[in-house]
Structure 1
Amino acid sequence: MKKIKILLASLSGSIIEWYDFYLYGTATGIVFTTLFFPNENPAVSILIAFATFGAGYAARPLGSIIFGHVGDRIGRKASLMITLIGMGGSSFLIGLLPTYAAVGILAPAMLVILRLIQGISLGGEWGGAVLLATENASKGVRGLFGSIPQLGVPIGLVLGTFSFTLINSFTTEAQFMAWGWRIPFLFSGVLIVLALWIRSSIEETPEFQQRKESGNIEKMPVLTLFRNNSKDMFRIIGLKLGDGFFNVFLMSFILVYATTYIGYSRDTALLALSLSCATMLITIPVVGYLSDFIGRKVIYISGLIGMLVLAIPYFIGISSSTSTFFIMQIVLLGVVWAAIFATQGTFFSELFPANVRYTGMSLGYQIAAAIVGFGPMLWTAMAANYGPSPWIFGGFMIVALLVSLVLAIFSPDTRKVSHYDETVHEEEVKPRVSAEPLLTTAAEVRE
């Protein structure tokens, strides 16, 4: 029962964090380009709107340093409570913002500030949610436990996109643009209270608690990270780039690409995205479970190869027909990418010792996220110059995927040996060491 409660706490916050984050991504292509960044040239509006979307990604490394420091020094739980408030609070306030028509340039300025707060908060949330699960798991189920908080991505995205679809179905176009789009953002306030209630009842992870009691806490985790574990941090950046670019396209930019450049309706694009996310709900825990038997590395490499092979066919397929669009979206996002993502939390956390684990895995992951977050700006420019060319867009993805594939091949197989094993070894050794003086004293007494 305790393990289920921990996994629920990890997942609940993750759902809300990603609900809020992708809610902004959905609104960027549908609402913000018109209400906050009006321009006579639609391409310019899209470009500016997605620049603020990328700003949220750019802020995430800062969040990983701030909350990684909190998580590695004060505790995983404390960090997760703060990130939840920052993420949910900023989303709630977005729902109250006046538009450009009402206050002019002040509207997009306030939107960008709140977006930055979102990014900083999410920069600390992901790593903490994963560690809450993996540091409470035994070795044989660590892959499964680490995959559970990853479910927050598809669930959060489905909730975000479904909320827009639901509101849109009950309002006219004018009503939706006037006030309907605000409702999903305001709903964050309800979700945040629920998640805080769930997380407040959990205890600190055993690994961190053990280090805290022994006094083995780093004063400046980020400095220790760069001194001793920078190689693995940079490894994570490269490992994440390939699937990261494709993920941002498949889960965010696809709404603009499918409607603006291919000609699908907004409802069709949202349905394709929702179906692929629903598929992820099955893929992620199944693959997480399998990774405990065949290893994270094998699955990671297989997934990257799958994305490489399907990169160009994907862009050809989504332009050919609605049914092919649905199939390609489900296969590439719902199955192949989901398989990679299922292993990432556990895989990346196993590369670092507990004293810098929060900072190390978060910073590497979020630096990569900051880079790929500006993908929509590049793709908008590419579409303006070349149109929705499968060879241009597919080629872009292939280059990034090759970088990740090479690094994955030369990465360690963490299922066999990881830094989690060091903590287990310490626990086994300590009783024997502390018992020696007692045995010696007993011998002396007999003499």
Structure 2
Amino acid sequence: MKKSRVLFASVSGSVIEWYDFYLYGTATGLVFSSLFFPNTDPAIALLLAFATFGIGYAARPIGSIIFGHFGDKLGRKASLMLTLVGMGGSSFLIGCLPTYAQIGVAAPLLLVFLRLIQGIALGGEWGGAVLLATEYAPKGLRGLYGSIPQLGVPLGLVLGSFSLTFISYLTTEAQFLAWGWRIPFLFSALLIGLALWIRNGIEETPAFKEQKEKGELAAVPIVETFRTNSKSVFHVIGLKLGDGFFNVFLMSFVLVFATKHLGYSYEVALTALTIGCATMIITIPVVGYLSDFIGRKIIYICGLALLFLLAIPYFTMVGQSPSWLYIMQAVMLGIIWASIFATQGTIFSELFPAKVRYTGLSFGYQIAAAIVGFGPMIWTPMAEKFGPSPIVFGGFMMAGITISLVLSLFVPDTRKISKYEDNVDPVADEKAI
């Protein structure tokens, strides 16, 4: 099977899944806080809305177990098809939901339920998309291949944010709140249909085929994962925590932080986020390719160290002017964090053998995601009490990064020592991409 087709299937589905997930995040501050969580205190309404945002993260470990089980028992492809259906269906239904004014408390309850489904679906998507790429990768290019699905995050975020912003420009504020915000959610049905068609045309990965032919599939993947690879699970959780809090801030809470606490317009905040994501699109494949030559571990450690050193300077500079906000988003999100993220899919997957790779990779990553996803619930009252304090916010980020920095010293250089077998498509004359 052509590698380019596999990579396209991996990243296209990932883009659409993250589009749906981050579309919700963008709509949280703009729409949901007022239409689904009305409260006389705007801060309380915003906090409640961000709680549902965090619930999506909390549900992701559940999805990692469910779809990891399917992925390690039935195949990577089958699991990825199911995650698309779950994400697309829940996003479409969010676009159909009546508001609090129409059906009362049932509205936020239904919203929370659909957000849970989103989180469960995404909990299985990320690991599967990574494995679809890395388990097809030729020798010596696993880092590059593993970085391609990661492009789904910045592309999906920009697409989700842009869709709401575009609709807001075409409608009045009243029209946007009445029906305009629903259009991007309803559009998910078309996008998911396209992704299902693309993924249906690919074959199962060589690694899973080999495990199945040998009869070496795990009976209960989550049990087998902790029986044989518990250390790797905890390594993944710890390594993700440090950059995870900064990631959630830079790609989500920054919109609230910049507008409410720094006094910027929403257009300025969104432009800064877009600049950071656009930079990521360049950084991720470049760093992924470099990791095949200089190693994943050294890039990871250097990235964490730079995030640590620049944490307080970031929060100091973003409040100086829109230009500094743009620059710091490009540097911290688009270059430094993107460099870490470019290597994560590959390095985490290389810690697990094929029979539990989907489950182990997904569960460890999503447990960390569940923890950091509640960052906005911590930062909202923190900002109300301390304001946009560089010491408070920078110190918070530095504490998390310290955990990951220490753990990164004990993780092997997976470019040299990996639990991947030589499951490479043996078509000798096929190009890598």
**TM-score, with structure 1 as normaliser:** 0.94
Question: For residue 177 of structure 1, what is the aligned residue in structure 2?
Answer: 177
Aligned-partner residue type, residue 398 of structure 1: M
How do 1:57-68 and structure 2 match up within 5 A? 57-68=57-68
SS at match of 2:26: helix
Question: For residue 56 of structure 2, what is the aligned residue in structure 1?
Answer: 56
Question: For residue 236 of structure 2, what is the aligned residue in structure 1?
Answer: 236
Q: What are the Cα deviations for residues 162-185 of structure 1, in whole angstroms up to 9, with x where unaligned?
A: 111111111111111111111111
Question: For residue 134 of structure 1, what is the aligned residue in structure 2?
Answer: 134
- Residues 63, 123 of structure 2: 8 Å contact kept: yes
Aligned-pair CA distance for 1:343: 0.3
Instruction: Check if 1:195 corresponds to 2:195.
Output: yes
Question: For residue 79 of structure 1, what is the aligned residue in structure 2?
Answer: 79
How do 1:129-168 and structure 2 match up within 5 A? 129-168=129-168
Aligned-pair CA distance for 1:421: 3.7
Instruction: Check if 1:226 corresponds to 2:221.
Output: no
Q: How many residues align?
A: 425
Aligned-partner residue type, residue 107 of structure 1: A
Instruction: Check if 1:359 corresponds to 2:345.
Output: no
Question: For residue 39 of structure 1, what is the aligned residue in structure 2?
Answer: 39
- Hey, what's the Cα distance between the residues in 2 that align with 1:256 and 1:30? 10
Larger Rg: 1
- Residues 136, 423 of structure 2: 8 Å contact kept: no
SS at match of 1:345: helix
Question: For residue 260 of structure 2, what is the aligned residue in structure 1?
Answer: 260
- Hey, what's the Cα distance between the residues in 2 that align with 1:389 and 1:239? 26
Aligned-partner residue type, residue 62 of structure 1: I
SS at match of 1:39: coil
- Hey, what's the Cα distance between the residues in 2 that align with 1:177 and 1:258? 22
SS at match of 2:298: helix
- Hey, what's the Cα distance between the residues in 1 that align with 2:326 and 2:388? 17
Q: What are the Cα deviations for residues 20-67 of structure 1, in whole angstroms up to 9, with x where unaligned?
A: 000000000111111111111111011111111110100000100000
SS at match of 1:96: coil
Aligned-partner residue type, residue 296 of structure 2: R
Q: What are the Cα deviations for residues 132-184 of structure 1, in whole angstroms up to 9, with x where unaligned?
A: 00000122110000000000000001101111111111111111111111111
Question: For residue 336 of structure 1, what is the aligned residue in structure 2?
Answer: 336
- Hey, what's the Cα distance between the residues in 2 that align with 1:182 and 1:163? 10
Question: For residue 307 of structure 1, what is the aligned residue in structure 2?
Answer: 307
Question: For residue 26 of structure 2, what is the aligned residue in structure 1?
Answer: 26
SS at match of 1:38: coil
Question: For residue 386 of structure 2, what is the aligned residue in structure 1?
Answer: 386
Q: Which runs of 4+ in 1 moved over 2 A?
A: 421-424
* Identity across the alignment (%): 70
Query: RMSD of the alignment, in Å?
Result: 1.1
Aligned-partner residue type, residue 21 of structure 1: F
Question: For residue 294 of structure 2, what is the aligned residue in structure 1?
Answer: 294
Q: What are the Cα deviations for residues 209-257 of structure 1, in whole angstroms up to 9, with x where unaligned?
A: 0110111111101111111100010110000001100000000111111
- Hey, what's the Cα distance between the residues in 2 that align with 1:374 and 1:57? 8
Aligned-pair CA distance for 1:197: 0.3
SS at match of 2:300: helix
SS at match of 2:249: helix
Aligned-partner residue type, residue 350 of structure 1: E
Question: For residue 345 of structure 1, what is the aligned residue in structure 2?
Answer: 345
- Hey, what's the Cα distance between the residues in 2 that align with 1:270 and 1:172? 19
- Hey, what's the Cα distance between the residues in 2 that align with 1:153 and 1:18? 6
Aligned-pair CA distance for 1:387: 1.1
- Hey, what's the Cα distance between the residues in 1 that align with 2:423 and 2:179? 53
Aligned-partner residue type, residue 373 of structure 2: G
SS at match of 1:229: helix
- Hey, what's the Cα distance between the residues in 2 that align with 1:74 and 1:195? 20
Aligned-partner residue type, residue 286 of structure 2: V
Question: For residue 430 of structure 2, what is the aligned residue in structure 1?
Answer: none
SS at match of 1:61: helix
SS at match of 2:141: helix
Aligned-partner residue type, residue 76 of structure 2: R
- Hey, what's the Cα distance between the residues in 2 that align with 1:80 and 1:49? 29
- Hey, what's the Cα distance between the residues in 2 that align with 1:139 and 1:51? 43
- Hey, what's the Cα distance between the residues in 2 that align with 1:57 and 1:359? 17
Q: What are the Cα deviations for residues 386-409 of structure 1, in whole angstroms up to 9, with x where unaligned?
A: 111111000000000000011112
Question: For residue 2 of structure 1, what is the aligned residue in structure 2?
Answer: 2
How do 1:367-446 and structure 2 match up within 5 A? 367-421=367-421
Aligned-pair CA distance for 1:422: 6.8
Question: For residue 442 of structure 1, what is the aligned residue in structure 2?
Answer: none
Q: What are the Cα deviations for residues 177-206 of structure 1, in whole angstroms up to 9, with x where unaligned?
A: 111111111110110010000000100000
Q: What are the Cα deviations for residues 113-146 of structure 1, in whole angstroms up to 9, with x where unaligned?
A: 0000000000000000000000001221100000
- Hey, what's the Cα distance between the residues in 1 that align with 2:139 and 2:263? 49
Q: Which runs of 5+ in 1 are unaligned?
A: 428-447
- Hey, what's the Cα distance between the residues in 2 that align with 1:164 and 1:422? 45
- Hey, what's the Cα distance between the residues in 1 that align with 2:202 and 2:22? 27
SS at match of 1:319: coil
- Hey, what's the Cα distance between the residues in 1 that align with 2:332 and 2:353? 33
Question: For residue 99 of structure 1, what is the aligned residue in structure 2?
Answer: 99
- Residues 206, 423 of structure 2: 8 Å contact kept: no
